[in-house]
Structure 1
């Protein structure tokens, strides 16, 4: 995947009220390519919206496997991409319909996906199993379980490009670790783009990208960025470690 000299302007939602992405050029050669983005309005969301063609670039182009995505129909393009958002989407229906709304997969494939995302045993306990009721917004499921259902959809679809947009920001560390482990195990041939506040989620990435107000601030392997103590990424990891240790100490005092 390659973002070639791309600029995107989306008006007042940007901190500069001008362009959110300015002449950015990035190349991801395949497999797990994870991004860690530094601040909320840095341009990361705009970049993802451009990948899904929710917004169109004012200049430049995005290439996937040598094809300019602007030449691909929207339905065809988006059918090849998958995303786990921060707020997991579930709707009124059944476990089966939430995992496979278009009824494209067999029960065996659905159970396999549930087992891979560690929800198989939980669903087997339910009286209706795959036909168990899911109420609107998945309110009868925990936040972590809803996020794992979204992961189950990805396991069924097997897209070559996956986007995790703050996917683990609202789940506990155990669920975060489970999602990361599942991605590493079952998506080794996919490009995984991860936007995360938890720096631990991207430490084993192939590459880390930091954006600042639409400009590339750093783009390198995590190892090289951490070796450079003056890098913004190294400082972020250090700050996160201090906060985590402080939280553990405070919990121990309770």
Structure 2
């Protein structure tokens, strides 16, 4: 894969197959091509070589609206819009209040919203400033959950969140999207240790693609080296402070 002139070439030759309901962790250094997979999957930029096929259908052969209705993304920066809680979760008024409350309960936000004066009609300010970053991210998870998509992309979804909230969000995602195919672009390596397979990207190519146990059992694997480096930094940090 490569981009047209609008973006620099990031992905070179990337060939892989993902089974239904598989959880794939995607790791690599900055600029390795991690987020570029999402860009091409959602067709934000058309690829000039190769193809992406879902259930035997090439995504370039269907309309963008049809494609994106079947995909969900939980981005690195949680996005909420000016409006009510309800319009943020269900902008096209497709779901009942019962369905929305169910989604909020599954992401551990029902109690928080119930305590608001207007509940689902509570007005969200610009950029969701009247919610914490963790709460905004959980609301984004609820929004994705309502869409019932079978493919979910998490683009470093908890990179800017504290560790405890990070763990809660990933636990919530694992439970709520257990029947989905998930592509998890990881900033914190521990978040992909329970994935079925891990894809290590390097300069736009797949350097490794195997189960966590296989990669970690190989002292020469890149993922093993990356995780060891993180653990060494954690051990060294108390003395450095």
Give the direction of change, closer, same or farther, for the CA distance of 1:121–1:246 in structure 2 (3 Å limit).
Answer: farther
Cα deviation, residue 242, structure 1 = 2.3
Q: Measure the CA separation in 2 of the matches of 1:138 and 1:12.
A: 31
Query: How does 1:170-209 map onto structure 2 within 5 Å?
Result: 170-209=160-199
Cα deviation 1:90-139 (Å, max 9, x = unaligned): 01111111111111111111111111111111111111111111001001
**Match of 2:96?**
106
Instruction: Report the CA distance shift for 1:237/1:10 in structure 2 as closer, same or farther (over 3 A).
Output: farther
Corresponding position of 2:108: 118
CA distance in 1, matches of 2:175, 2:239: 35
SS state at 1:184 partner: helix
- The answer on 1:234 being equivalent to 2:228 is no
Distance 1:117 1:246, change over 3 A: farther
Alignment length (residue pairs): 241
Greater RCO (Cα-Cα under 8 Å, separation 6 or more) = 2
Instruction: Tell me the residue number matched to 1:221.
Output: 211
Given that residues 25 and 185 in structure 2 are in contact (C-alpha distance below 8 angstroms), is that contact kept between their aligned partners in structure 1? yes
Of 49, 55, 59, the match for 2:49:
59
Separation in structure 1 between the aligned mates of residue 58 and residue 128 of structure 2, nearest angstrom:
37
Secondary structure of 1:104's match? Answer: coil
Tell me what 1:137 maps to: 127
Structure 1: how far apart are the matches of 2:174 and 2:35? 23
Selected match of 1:69 from 45, 49, 59? 59
RMSD (Å), alpha carbons = 1.6
Measure, in 1, the Cα distance between the counterparts of 2:193 and 2:49.
Answer: 32
Gapped regions of structure 1 (runs ≥ 5): 1-6
Deviations 1:166-217 (A, max 9, x none): 1010111122112221222222221100001100100000110011111111
TM-score, length basis structure 1: 0.90
Matched with 1:157 is 147
Q: Secondary structure at the match of 1:25?
A: coil
Q: CA offsets, 1:137-158, max 9 Å, x none?
A: 0011111111001000111112
Query: Who is 1:87 aligned against?
Result: 77
1:12 Cα deviation from its structure 2 partner: 8.2
Greater per-residue strand proportion: 1
Q: After superposing the two structures, state which structure 1 stretch, 88-97 or 29-38, moved more.
A: 29-38
CA apart distance, 1:71:
0.8
